[in-house]
Chains A and B, each alone.
Chain A
C-alpha cells in the first residue's frame, strides 16, 4: 500500500486529483467517458444541427437505404432514421439516468435507516429486501406495463421501485461497518445528533460505493427500458426511443433493412459499454485493487 492510500483524510483538491489520476490510469474508463459524452451530444445537441423531424411521415420515401437526403435511411413510414435515433436517445438516456438516480435515493435512505436502526427493525427491513429481490422484476414490469400503460414519469418510478434493493444492502453493510469505527464513536461522544453523524460521518463515506452502484444501475435501467419498449410496451408511441425502434425494425426484418437494425442496437450497446467502463473505472478509485 502506498503512503497516499494510508492517509485518506488529506486536503480536498489533492484527494480529487489523486482520484482522477487513478480513474484515468485505466484507459477504458476514459473511453467510457468519451463515448458517453458523444452519445449525449449526439442525442441532445444533434437535433440542433440535423433539423429533420423524427415524426414526419413521408410515404413516398419509405424504406430508403442510407444515402442522399437520408444519412441513415428511412423506416416503413418514411420517417428519418437519423433524426429518430437522436430523439430516441434523449428518451432512452433520460429514463435510464432518472430511474437510476431515484433508485439510488430510495436505496440510500432505506439502507441508512436499516443500518442505523439495527436489531429487529434491521432484520425485518433486510428480510423484506430479500423477498423483493426474489420477485422476477422484468415479469412484473411487463405485467404492469401491459395492464395500464404507465406514463413516462410513472415508468421511471416503477423502474426505480423495482431496482433499489441492491444499493440498500450495500449501504446498510457500509453503515454497519462504519458505525463501529472510532471517528463515528468520537462524533457521538462529542454529542453530535444522529442526523449530524449521518450527514457528516456516514453518508460521505458511503457515497463512493453508491456512485459506483449507481453507474451500473444506469446501464440496467437503459437496458430494461429498451427491453420493455422492444416488447411493444414501455413508452407510448409515436415518440421514438432506441428499444421501440428495434421493435419496429423487427416488423421489417424480411426486407433486409439493416440500417433499421444496426444503429439503434449499436446505440444501446455503446451506452451500456460506456457506462460499464465508467463504473469499472470508478470502482477502481474506491477499491485500490482493480477488478
Chain B
C-alpha cells in the first residue's frame, strides 16, 4: 500500500508538468498580447516593447516558462498585470469564498444524496423509489446556472427570503454571520443539485448491493435490530465509496462554481478568472489553471488511495 501510494504520487508530478506546459503554450498562442489590452488606445510599438521587456514577455517562450517554474519553486506566483497585487494575495482573497461555496455544496449534496439514496435502496422498487428516481433524473439534467436563476426568481424576487447575490449586505453597518449564511444558501443549493442527483443514484445502487451481502444476512440472523443493521453494516460500507467519488467530482464542482459565481455575482475564483481572461492577466490565469489542475490530479490521487483504504480486498501490485 505504501509503495503504491508513493508510486501514485510520483505519477502525479509529470501530469502537473504537462498541465503547466500546455497551459503556458495555450496562453501564448492565442492572438493578442497583454500589452494590447493594457495599453488600449495608448498603444504604440515602442510602448508595447517596453512593457513586454518589463514583464519579461520579450524572452523566448521556453525561457519564460523556466523563469515561471523557478519562481513557482520558491512559492512566488508572480505579480498581477492589472490588479497591482501579487497573484498569491489575489488568490488568498478569492479562493476562500470559492472553497466555502464548494464545501457547503458538497455538504448539502452529500446530506441529501445519502438520505435519499439510502431510503431508495432500502425501499427499492417502491412508489417512493420511482418518484425519487424520476426527480433525480430531472435534477441530474438540470443546468445548474438555470437552477440558480430560478432560485433567485422564486426566493429573492418572489418571496424576498434570501439575497440575490454578492456576499455582503451593503445596507447593514456590520456584516453578521447570519447574513453571510443567507448569502450562501442559494448559490450553494444551485451548485449542489447536479452532484446530489448523481450521488444519490450511486448511493442507491451501493446500498442495494450492500444489503445483498452475506455479512448483512449474518447481522440480521444474529437478531440485530434493523436500524443497527442499516447504520452499522450497510451505511458504513456504502458511504465510504461515495467519498472516493467525491475526489473525482472536484473538477466538475469547481467548473460549476465558475458559473454559479457569475449567476450570484459571488466574489470567488471564477469571477477572478473571468476578469483575468478579459485582461489577459497571464500570471493570474496560469496560477488558477495550475491550482485547478492540481486539485483535479489531487482528487484523482485521493480517490485511488481512499478506494484502497475503504476496501481492503483491493490489492495493489
Contacts and interface: CB of A to CB of B under 8 A. Distances in A.
Interface string B90-110: 000000000000000000000
B141 A138 contact: no
Interface stretch (A12-20, A110-118, A186-194, A249-257): A249-257
A28 B280 CA distance: 46
Nearest to B137: A273
A265 B150 contact: yes
B30 A269 contact: no
Interface in B1-38: 14-16, 18-19, 22-23, 26-27, 30-32
B285 A143 contact: yes
Given A136-B296, A227-B143, A265-B143, A276 B152 contact: no
A250 B138 contact: no
B278 A146 contact: yes
A134 interface: yes
B292 interface: yes
B251 interface: yes
Contacts of B51: none
Interface string A162-179: 000000000000000000
Interface stretch (B56-64, B230-238, B255-263): B255-263
Interface string A221-237: 00100110011000000
Contacts, number: 125
A133 B78 CA distance: 26
Given A134-B293, A231-B259, A143 B277 contact: yes
Q: Which residue, B164, B255, B289, B293, has most C-beta atoms of chain A within 10 A? A: B255
A254 B164 CA distance: 10
B51 to A, nearest CB: 18
Contacts of B18: 127-128, 131, 134
Interface string A43-54: 000000000000
A223 B30 CA distance: 25
B132 to A, nearest CB: 14
B140 interface: yes
B149 A261 contact: yes
A272 B153 contact: no
A135 B150 contact: no
B292 A147 contact: no
A128 B285 CA distance: 22
Interface in A71-86: none
Interface in B246-294: 251, 254-255, 258-259, 262-263, 273-274, 277-278, 280, 285, 288-289, 292-293
Given A130-B15, A231-B274, A140 B26 contact: yes
B255 A269 contact: no
Nearest to A257: B153
B198 to A, nearest CB: 11
A148 interface: yes
A227 B15 contact: no
B293 to A, nearest CB: 5
A285 B228 CA distance: 39
Majority DSSP secondary structure for residues of B touching A: helix
Contacts of A140: 23, 26, 289
Contact of A269 (B16, B141, B158, B263): B141
A139 B273 contact: yes
A268 interface: yes
Contacts of B164: 253
Contact of A134 (B137, B280, B297): B297
Contacts of B296: 133-134, 136
Contact of A253 (B153, B255, B289): B153
A161 to B, nearest CB: 11
B157 interface: yes
A142 interface: yes
Given A148-B32, A230-B259, A253-B152, A265 B146 contact: yes
B224 to A, nearest CB: 30
A268 B146 contact: yes
B15 A131 contact: yes
B131 interface: no
A139 B274 CA distance: 8
Interface string A94-135: 000000000000000000000000000000000110111111
B145 interface: yes
Contacts of B262: 230-231
A144 interface: yes
B141 A272 contact: yes
Given A140-B289, A276-B140, A253 B278 contact: no
Given A133-B296, A146-B274, A291-B205, 9 more contacts: A132-B22, A135-B19, A139-B258, A140-B289, A143-B285, A146-B277, A148-B30, A261-B146, A272-B143
The 4 A-B pairs of least Cβ separation, nearest first, read A131-B18, A265-B146, A272-B141, A146-B277
21 contacts: A28-B137, A135-B22, A135-B293, A136-B251, A136-B255, A136-B296, A139-B258, A142-B258, A146-B274, A147-B30, A230-B145, A230-B259, A231-B274, A254-B157, A258-B153, A261-B149, A261-B153, A265-B143, A265-B149, A265-B150, A269-B141
Interface of B: 14-16, 18-19, 22-23, 26-27, 30-32, 137-138, 140-143, 145-146, 149-150, 152-153, 157-158, 164, 205, 251, 254-255, 258-259, 262-263, 273-274, 277-278, 280, 285, 288-289, 292-293, 296-297, 300
